[in-house]
Amino acid sequence: MQFPSTDYLIIGGGILGAATAWSLAQQAPAGSRIRLVEAGLLASATTSQAAALLTRVRPDPAMAALVAETFTAIEQLDQVLEQPLPLRKVGSLHLATAESGKAYLQDTETTAASLGLSSERLGPEQIKQRAPWLAPDQHSEALFVADDGYMDPVQLAQGYVSAARKLGVEVVQNCRVDSLIMEQGRVVGAHTSQGSMPADNLICCSGPWATRLLAEQGVHLAMAPVRSHYWITEDNTELFPTDSPMVILPDINAYARPEVGGLLFGLRDQQAVYGDPANLPEDIHGYLFNCDPDGWECLEAGWGDLAAVFPAIEHLGVAHYLTGVSSYTPDGKPLIDTTHIPGLLVGTGCSGGGIALSGGIGRLLAELALERDTFCDVAPFKLDRFGSVDPFAEEFRVRCALARSQKKSG
Protein backbone atom coordinates (compact mmCIF):
# COMPACT_ATOMS: atom_id res chain seq x y z
CA MET A 1 0.00 0.00 0.00
CA GLN A 2 1.15 3.54 -0.72
CA PHE A 3 -0.35 6.55 1.02
CA PRO A 4 -1.00 9.76 -0.92
CA SER A 5 1.99 12.10 -0.95
CA THR A 6 2.19 14.96 1.54
CA ASP A 7 4.19 18.16 1.84
CA TYR A 8 5.18 17.36 5.43
CA LEU A 9 5.35 14.06 7.27
CA ILE A 10 5.81 14.25 11.06
CA ILE A 11 7.04 11.05 12.71
CA GLY A 12 5.92 10.61 16.32
CA GLY A 13 2.56 11.37 17.90
CA GLY A 14 3.86 12.33 21.31
CA ILE A 15 3.92 15.85 22.71
CA LEU A 16 6.54 17.17 20.26
CA GLY A 17 5.00 15.71 17.13
CA ALA A 18 1.58 16.95 18.22
CA ALA A 19 2.83 20.48 18.94
CA THR A 20 4.73 20.56 15.63
CA ALA A 21 1.68 19.43 13.66
CA TRP A 22 -0.43 22.21 15.15
CA SER A 23 2.18 24.93 14.70
CA LEU A 24 2.99 23.85 11.16
CA ALA A 25 -0.69 23.77 10.22
CA GLN A 26 -1.04 27.32 11.50
CA GLN A 27 1.92 28.67 9.57
CA ALA A 28 2.06 26.63 6.35
CA PRO A 29 0.61 28.00 3.11
CA ALA A 30 -3.06 27.25 2.48
CA GLY A 31 -3.56 23.82 1.00
CA SER A 32 -0.42 22.31 2.51
CA ARG A 33 -0.75 18.57 3.13
CA ILE A 34 0.47 17.55 6.59
CA ARG A 35 0.43 14.04 8.03
CA LEU A 36 1.28 12.95 11.60
CA VAL A 37 2.13 9.25 12.00
CA GLU A 38 2.35 7.46 15.35
CA ALA A 39 3.57 3.90 16.02
CA GLY A 40 0.94 3.29 18.71
CA LEU A 41 -1.77 5.51 20.13
CA LEU A 42 -1.24 9.25 20.40
CA ALA A 43 0.74 10.34 23.48
CA SER A 44 0.84 6.79 24.84
CA ALA A 45 4.63 6.36 25.02
CA THR A 46 7.13 8.67 26.75
CA THR A 47 4.66 11.59 26.91
CA SER A 48 2.35 9.59 29.17
CA GLN A 49 5.19 9.00 31.65
CA ALA A 50 6.04 12.68 32.25
CA ALA A 51 5.63 14.53 35.54
CA ALA A 52 4.88 17.60 33.38
CA LEU A 53 6.31 20.42 35.49
CA LEU A 54 6.05 23.71 33.56
CA THR A 55 8.80 25.87 35.04
CA ARG A 56 9.50 29.13 33.23
CA VAL A 57 12.75 30.30 34.86
CA ARG A 58 15.60 29.02 32.67
CA PRO A 59 19.13 30.51 32.66
CA ASP A 60 19.41 30.14 28.88
CA PRO A 61 17.21 32.79 27.17
CA ALA A 62 16.43 30.43 24.30
CA MET A 63 15.21 27.74 26.70
CA ALA A 64 13.10 30.32 28.53
CA ALA A 65 11.61 31.39 25.20
CA LEU A 66 10.59 27.81 24.40
CA VAL A 67 8.75 27.45 27.72
CA ALA A 68 7.10 30.86 27.40
CA GLU A 69 5.81 29.79 24.00
CA THR A 70 4.21 26.71 25.57
CA PHE A 71 2.23 28.90 27.96
CA THR A 72 1.19 31.05 24.99
CA ALA A 73 0.19 27.92 23.08
CA ILE A 74 -2.01 26.75 25.97
CA GLU A 75 -3.81 30.10 25.96
CA GLN A 76 -4.32 29.87 22.19
CA LEU A 77 -5.56 26.28 22.38
CA ASP A 78 -8.12 27.27 25.00
CA GLN A 79 -9.63 29.60 22.39
CA VAL A 80 -10.17 26.86 19.80
CA LEU A 81 -10.89 23.72 21.85
CA GLU A 82 -14.32 22.84 23.20
CA GLN A 83 -12.94 22.49 26.74
CA PRO A 84 -10.07 24.51 28.27
CA LEU A 85 -6.91 22.60 29.05
CA PRO A 86 -6.41 21.64 32.72
CA LEU A 87 -3.40 23.84 33.47
CA ARG A 88 -2.77 23.96 37.22
CA LYS A 89 -1.07 27.34 37.58
CA VAL A 90 -0.08 26.86 41.22
CA GLY A 91 3.45 28.31 41.06
CA SER A 92 6.70 26.69 42.13
CA LEU A 93 8.32 26.81 45.56
CA HIS A 94 12.10 26.38 45.56
CA LEU A 95 13.41 25.31 48.98
CA ALA A 96 17.12 25.53 49.83
CA THR A 97 18.59 23.77 52.85
CA ALA A 98 22.32 24.20 52.10
CA GLU A 99 24.61 26.89 50.74
CA SER A 100 24.61 25.47 47.21
CA GLY A 101 20.83 25.58 47.17
CA LYS A 102 20.81 29.15 48.44
CA ALA A 103 23.09 30.16 45.58
CA TYR A 104 20.63 28.43 43.24
CA LEU A 105 17.80 30.49 44.76
CA GLN A 106 19.69 33.72 44.16
CA ASP A 107 20.37 32.76 40.55
CA THR A 108 16.73 31.78 40.05
CA GLU A 109 15.51 35.05 41.55
CA THR A 110 17.84 37.07 39.32
CA THR A 111 16.86 35.13 36.21
CA ALA A 112 13.15 35.48 36.99
CA ALA A 113 13.56 39.26 37.21
CA SER A 114 15.40 39.35 33.88
CA LEU A 115 12.53 37.44 32.27
CA GLY A 116 9.89 39.71 33.79
CA LEU A 117 8.55 36.97 36.07
CA SER A 118 7.44 37.73 39.62
CA SER A 119 9.05 35.91 42.54
CA GLU A 120 9.06 36.35 46.29
CA ARG A 121 11.06 35.09 49.24
CA LEU A 122 9.16 33.04 51.80
CA GLY A 123 9.73 32.53 55.53
CA PRO A 124 9.12 29.24 57.37
CA GLU A 125 5.47 30.00 58.17
CA GLN A 126 4.72 31.04 54.61
CA ILE A 127 6.36 27.85 53.35
CA LYS A 128 4.16 25.74 55.61
CA GLN A 129 1.04 27.63 54.54
CA ARG A 130 1.71 26.97 50.86
CA ALA A 131 3.04 23.41 51.21
CA PRO A 132 1.91 21.84 54.53
CA TRP A 133 3.96 18.69 53.95
CA LEU A 134 7.26 20.59 54.09
CA ALA A 135 9.16 20.96 57.37
CA PRO A 136 11.71 23.74 56.83
CA ASP A 137 14.20 24.46 59.58
CA GLN A 138 15.29 27.92 60.74
CA HIS A 139 18.17 27.95 58.26
CA SER A 140 16.07 27.09 55.21
CA GLU A 141 15.33 29.66 52.53
CA ALA A 142 12.61 29.58 49.87
CA LEU A 143 11.63 31.36 46.69
CA PHE A 144 8.13 31.27 45.18
CA VAL A 145 7.60 31.79 41.43
CA ALA A 146 3.92 32.41 40.82
CA ASP A 147 3.74 31.90 37.05
CA ASP A 148 4.72 28.20 36.98
CA GLY A 149 2.34 25.25 36.85
CA TYR A 150 1.75 21.69 35.74
CA MET A 151 -0.82 19.74 33.76
CA ASP A 152 -1.70 16.32 32.43
CA PRO A 153 0.76 15.73 29.56
CA VAL A 154 -1.58 13.48 27.59
CA GLN A 155 -4.36 16.08 27.65
CA LEU A 156 -1.97 18.74 26.39
CA ALA A 157 -0.81 16.48 23.54
CA GLN A 158 -4.40 15.67 22.67
CA GLY A 159 -5.17 19.38 22.69
CA TYR A 160 -2.43 20.05 20.14
CA VAL A 161 -3.71 17.21 17.93
CA SER A 162 -7.35 18.27 18.17
CA ALA A 163 -6.44 21.79 17.11
CA ALA A 164 -4.21 20.44 14.31
CA ARG A 165 -7.03 18.26 13.00
CA LYS A 166 -9.31 21.29 12.85
CA LEU A 167 -6.71 22.80 10.49
CA GLY A 168 -6.66 19.75 8.25
CA VAL A 169 -3.79 17.66 9.59
CA GLU A 170 -4.16 13.94 8.85
CA VAL A 171 -3.37 11.64 11.80
CA VAL A 172 -2.41 7.98 11.34
CA GLN A 173 -2.10 5.82 14.47
CA ASN A 174 -0.82 2.28 15.04
CA CYS A 175 1.58 2.75 12.16
CA ARG A 176 5.29 2.21 12.83
CA VAL A 177 7.93 3.92 10.70
CA ASP A 178 10.53 1.29 9.80
CA SER A 179 12.94 3.31 7.64
CA LEU A 180 13.31 6.44 5.56
CA ILE A 181 12.92 6.52 1.79
CA MET A 182 15.91 8.18 0.11
CA GLU A 183 16.39 9.34 -3.49
CA GLN A 184 19.63 10.96 -4.69
CA GLY A 185 20.64 11.86 -1.14
CA ARG A 186 17.31 13.47 -0.20
CA VAL A 187 14.59 12.08 2.06
CA VAL A 188 11.36 11.57 0.12
CA GLY A 189 9.23 9.68 2.61
CA ALA A 190 9.10 6.74 4.97
CA HIS A 191 8.44 3.01 4.86
CA THR A 192 5.86 2.13 7.51
CA SER A 193 4.08 -0.95 8.83
CA GLN A 194 1.04 0.10 6.76
CA GLY A 195 2.89 0.98 3.56
CA SER A 196 5.04 3.74 2.12
CA MET A 197 4.35 7.42 2.86
CA PRO A 198 5.86 9.77 0.28
CA ALA A 199 6.60 13.30 1.53
CA ASP A 200 8.53 16.35 0.42
CA ASN A 201 9.76 17.05 3.94
CA LEU A 202 10.07 14.86 7.01
CA ILE A 203 10.19 16.02 10.65
CA CYS A 204 11.35 13.36 13.11
CA CYS A 205 9.88 13.73 16.62
CA SER A 206 10.05 10.07 17.60
CA GLY A 207 11.87 10.50 20.90
CA PRO A 208 14.34 7.78 21.91
CA TRP A 209 13.48 5.71 18.82
CA ALA A 210 14.86 8.49 16.58
CA THR A 211 18.44 7.47 17.38
CA ARG A 212 18.29 4.10 15.65
CA LEU A 213 16.01 5.28 12.83
CA LEU A 214 18.23 8.20 11.78
CA ALA A 215 21.56 6.46 12.39
CA GLU A 216 20.75 4.30 9.36
CA GLN A 217 21.16 7.47 7.28
CA GLY A 218 24.26 8.76 9.05
CA VAL A 219 22.49 11.19 11.39
CA HIS A 220 23.95 10.51 14.85
CA LEU A 221 21.88 12.13 17.58
CA ALA A 222 23.77 13.22 20.68
CA MET A 223 21.36 11.78 23.23
CA ALA A 224 20.69 8.61 25.21
CA PRO A 225 17.65 6.95 26.80
CA VAL A 226 17.91 7.73 30.51
CA ARG A 227 15.62 6.78 33.37
CA SER A 228 13.17 9.29 34.78
CA HIS A 229 11.02 8.06 37.62
CA TYR A 230 8.75 9.18 40.42
CA TRP A 231 6.65 7.92 43.29
CA ILE A 232 3.12 8.89 44.37
CA THR A 233 2.10 8.74 48.03
CA GLU A 234 -1.19 7.69 49.52
CA ASP A 235 -3.86 10.38 49.63
CA ASN A 236 -3.78 12.98 52.37
CA THR A 237 -5.66 16.13 51.41
CA GLU A 238 -4.59 18.00 54.54
CA LEU A 239 -0.91 17.61 53.70
CA PHE A 240 -1.36 17.88 49.94
CA PRO A 241 -4.08 20.40 49.05
CA THR A 242 -4.71 20.51 45.31
CA ASP A 243 -3.79 24.20 45.11
CA SER A 244 -0.37 23.77 46.74
CA PRO A 245 2.63 24.61 44.56
CA MET A 246 5.15 22.40 42.88
CA VAL A 247 8.26 22.11 45.03
CA ILE A 248 11.85 22.08 43.77
CA LEU A 249 14.52 20.82 46.21
CA PRO A 250 17.86 21.70 44.57
CA ASP A 251 20.06 20.43 47.41
CA ILE A 252 18.77 16.89 47.11
CA ASN A 253 17.98 16.89 43.36
CA ALA A 254 14.29 16.28 43.96
CA TYR A 255 10.93 17.73 42.95
CA ALA A 256 7.28 17.24 43.93
CA ARG A 257 3.77 18.32 43.05
CA PRO A 258 0.20 17.46 44.11
CA GLU A 259 -1.35 14.45 42.38
CA VAL A 260 -5.05 13.73 43.00
CA GLY A 261 -4.92 13.90 46.79
CA GLY A 262 -1.40 12.52 47.13
CA LEU A 263 2.08 13.82 46.41
CA LEU A 264 4.08 12.97 43.31
CA PHE A 265 7.80 13.18 44.09
CA GLY A 266 10.85 12.46 41.99
CA LEU A 267 14.46 11.74 42.95
CA ARG A 268 17.24 11.89 40.39
CA ASP A 269 19.55 8.88 40.20
CA GLN A 270 23.04 9.54 41.51
CA GLN A 271 24.36 6.63 39.47
CA ALA A 272 24.11 6.37 35.69
CA VAL A 273 20.86 4.58 34.82
CA TYR A 274 20.39 4.31 31.06
CA GLY A 275 19.16 2.11 28.25
CA ASP A 276 20.33 0.99 24.83
CA PRO A 277 18.93 2.98 21.87
CA ALA A 278 19.72 0.04 19.57
CA ASN A 279 17.32 -2.25 21.43
CA LEU A 280 14.39 -0.17 22.64
CA PRO A 281 11.11 -2.11 22.51
CA GLU A 282 8.02 -0.64 20.85
CA ASP A 283 6.30 -0.59 24.26
CA ILE A 284 8.62 1.08 26.78
CA HIS A 285 6.26 0.87 29.76
CA GLY A 286 8.10 -1.19 32.34
CA TYR A 287 11.34 -0.96 30.39
CA LEU A 288 14.27 -2.37 32.37
CA PHE A 289 17.36 -0.17 32.49
CA ASN A 290 20.94 -1.24 33.12
CA CYS A 291 20.56 -1.34 36.93
CA ASP A 292 18.23 -0.75 39.91
CA PRO A 293 15.11 -1.97 38.05
CA ASP A 294 12.58 -1.02 40.73
CA GLY A 295 14.17 2.26 41.88
CA TRP A 296 14.85 1.00 45.40
CA GLU A 297 18.53 1.94 45.35
CA CYS A 298 17.67 5.49 44.33
CA LEU A 299 14.92 5.79 46.93
CA GLU A 300 17.15 4.41 49.67
CA ALA A 301 20.01 6.76 48.74
CA GLY A 302 17.75 9.83 48.82
CA TRP A 303 15.45 8.81 51.68
CA GLY A 304 17.31 10.50 54.52
CA ASP A 305 17.58 13.90 52.83
CA LEU A 306 13.97 13.69 51.63
CA ALA A 307 12.66 12.77 55.09
CA ALA A 308 14.50 15.74 56.60
CA VAL A 309 12.23 18.14 54.68
CA PHE A 310 9.27 15.76 54.31
CA PRO A 311 9.04 13.90 57.65
CA ALA A 312 5.53 12.62 56.94
CA ILE A 313 7.01 10.26 54.37
CA GLU A 314 8.17 8.10 57.28
CA HIS A 315 4.59 6.99 57.99
CA LEU A 316 2.82 7.66 54.69
CA GLY A 317 2.49 4.78 52.27
CA VAL A 318 3.72 4.94 48.67
CA ALA A 319 0.83 4.03 46.38
CA HIS A 320 2.55 4.05 42.99
CA TYR A 321 5.96 3.96 41.33
CA LEU A 322 6.32 5.01 37.69
CA THR A 323 9.42 4.80 35.57
CA GLY A 324 9.92 6.21 32.10
CA VAL A 325 12.42 6.88 29.35
CA SER A 326 13.77 10.40 28.83
CA SER A 327 16.09 11.32 25.97
CA TYR A 328 18.97 13.21 27.59
CA THR A 329 21.72 15.22 25.90
CA PRO A 330 25.03 16.00 27.63
CA ASP A 331 24.00 19.63 28.28
CA GLY A 332 20.33 19.01 29.04
CA LYS A 333 19.12 21.03 26.03
CA PRO A 334 17.05 19.62 23.17
CA LEU A 335 18.14 18.82 19.63
CA ILE A 336 16.18 21.00 17.18
CA ASP A 337 17.70 21.39 13.75
CA THR A 338 17.83 20.60 10.08
CA THR A 339 20.19 17.75 9.13
CA HIS A 340 22.76 17.22 6.41
CA ILE A 341 20.02 15.34 4.52
CA PRO A 342 17.83 17.74 2.50
CA GLY A 343 14.23 17.70 3.66
CA LEU A 344 14.95 16.07 7.05
CA LEU A 345 14.51 17.90 10.36
CA VAL A 346 14.75 16.67 13.95
CA GLY A 347 13.17 17.66 17.25
CA THR A 348 14.06 15.47 20.24
CA GLY A 349 16.43 15.14 23.23
CA CYS A 350 14.33 17.22 25.62
CA SER A 351 16.11 15.89 28.72
CA GLY A 352 13.01 15.50 30.84
CA GLY A 353 11.52 18.85 29.81
CA GLY A 354 9.52 17.98 26.71
CA ILE A 355 6.13 18.98 28.07
CA ALA A 356 7.31 22.41 29.19
CA LEU A 357 9.24 22.97 25.95
CA SER A 358 6.63 21.56 23.57
CA GLY A 359 4.98 24.74 22.33
CA GLY A 360 8.31 26.39 21.62
CA ILE A 361 9.81 23.34 19.93
CA GLY A 362 6.72 22.91 17.76
CA ARG A 363 6.90 26.52 16.63
CA LEU A 364 10.65 26.37 16.04
CA LEU A 365 10.41 23.20 13.93
CA ALA A 366 7.59 24.72 11.88
CA GLU A 367 9.65 27.83 11.20
CA LEU A 368 12.70 25.77 10.23
CA ALA A 369 10.61 23.54 7.96
CA LEU A 370 9.12 26.60 6.24
CA GLU A 371 12.57 28.25 6.04
CA ARG A 372 11.40 31.31 7.95
CA ASP A 373 13.12 33.45 10.56
CA THR A 374 12.93 31.75 13.94
CA PHE A 375 11.38 33.38 17.01
CA CYS A 376 14.38 32.51 19.18
CA ASP A 377 18.05 31.63 18.83
CA VAL A 378 18.54 28.11 17.45
CA ALA A 379 22.29 27.90 18.15
CA PRO A 380 21.88 26.25 21.62
CA PHE A 381 19.94 23.40 19.99
CA LYS A 382 22.13 22.57 16.98
CA LEU A 383 22.76 18.89 16.29
CA ASP A 384 26.51 19.32 15.82
CA ARG A 385 27.26 21.26 19.02
CA PHE A 386 28.94 18.23 20.63
CA GLY A 387 31.03 17.34 17.61
CA SER A 388 31.10 13.75 16.38
CA VAL A 389 29.40 11.32 18.78
CA ASP A 390 28.49 7.66 18.85
CA PRO A 391 25.08 7.50 20.60
CA PHE A 392 25.36 3.72 20.93
CA ALA A 393 28.67 3.80 22.83
CA GLU A 394 28.32 3.06 26.53
CA GLU A 395 30.72 5.88 27.49
CA PHE A 396 28.50 8.41 25.74
CA ARG A 397 25.32 7.01 27.31
CA VAL A 398 26.88 7.32 30.76
CA ARG A 399 27.73 10.93 29.96
CA CYS A 400 24.09 11.66 29.15
CA ALA A 401 22.81 9.83 32.24
CA LEU A 402 25.09 11.89 34.47
CA ALA A 403 23.58 15.05 32.99
CA ARG A 404 20.29 14.03 34.58
CA SER A 405 21.94 13.24 37.89
CA GLN A 406 23.26 16.80 38.06
CA LYS A 407 19.95 18.48 37.20
CA LYS A 408 18.64 20.67 40.02
CA SER A 409 15.66 22.51 38.54
CA GLY A 410 12.20 21.17 37.77
Angle between helix 61-80 and 15-27 (nearest 10): 70
Asked if pLDDT for residue 61 goes beyond 80, the answer is: yes
Q: Using alpha carbons, select from 48, 59, 46, 54 the residue that is nearest to residue 72.
A: 54
- Dump pLDDT digits (tens) for 346-377: 999 999 999 999 999 999 999 999 999 999 99
Average pLDDT score, the chain: 96
Asked if pLDDT for residue 134 goes beyond 70, the answer is: yes
Model confidence at 330, pLDDT cuts 50, 70, 90, reads very high
Handedness of CA 40, 17, 393, 266 (dihedral sign): negative
CA distances, 210 to each of 165, 203, 217 (Å): 24, 11, 11
DSSP 317: P
- Dump pLDDT digits (tens) for 204-213: 999 999 999 9
- Dump pLDDT digits (tens) for 395-409: 999 999 999 887 766
Model confidence at 38, pLDDT cuts 50, 70, 90, reads very high
Distance CA(384)–CA(366), nearest Å, equals 20
The helix or strand, by DSSP H or E, that contains position 259, with its residue range, turns out to be: strand 254-259
Residues 6+ apart with CB under 8 A from 223: 208, 211, 327, 328, 329, 335, 348, 349, 351, 391, 400
Model confidence at 286, pLDDT cuts 50, 70, 90, reads confident
Q: Name the phi and psi angles at 3, rounded to 5.
A: -75, 155
Model confidence at 410, pLDDT cuts 50, 70, 90, reads low
pLDDT of residue 406: 78
Q: Give all strands of the β-sheet with 318-328 in edge-to-edge order.
A: 119-122, 141-145, 92-96, 246-249, 254-259, 262-267, 224-233, 318-328
- Dump pLDDT digits (tens) for 84-120: 999 999 999 999 999 999 999 999 999 999 999 999 9
pLDDT of residue 308: 96
pTM of the entire predicted model: 0.97
pLDDT of residue 273: 94
- Dump pLDDT digits (tens) for 169-222: 999 999 999 999 999 999 999 999 999 999 999 999 999 999 999 999 999 999
- Dump pLDDT digits (tens) for 218-276: 999 999 999 999 999 999 999 999 999 999 999 999 999 999 999 999 999 989 899 99
Q: Using alpha carbons, select from 52, 371, 23, 78 the residue that is nearest to residue 205.
A: 23
Query: Domains plus CATH for the chain?
Result: 6-83+152-223+330-389 (3.50.50.60), 92-148+225-327 (3.30.9.10)
Half-sphere exposure of 251 (CA within 13 A, CB side): 19
Model confidence at 315, pLDDT cuts 50, 70, 90, reads very high
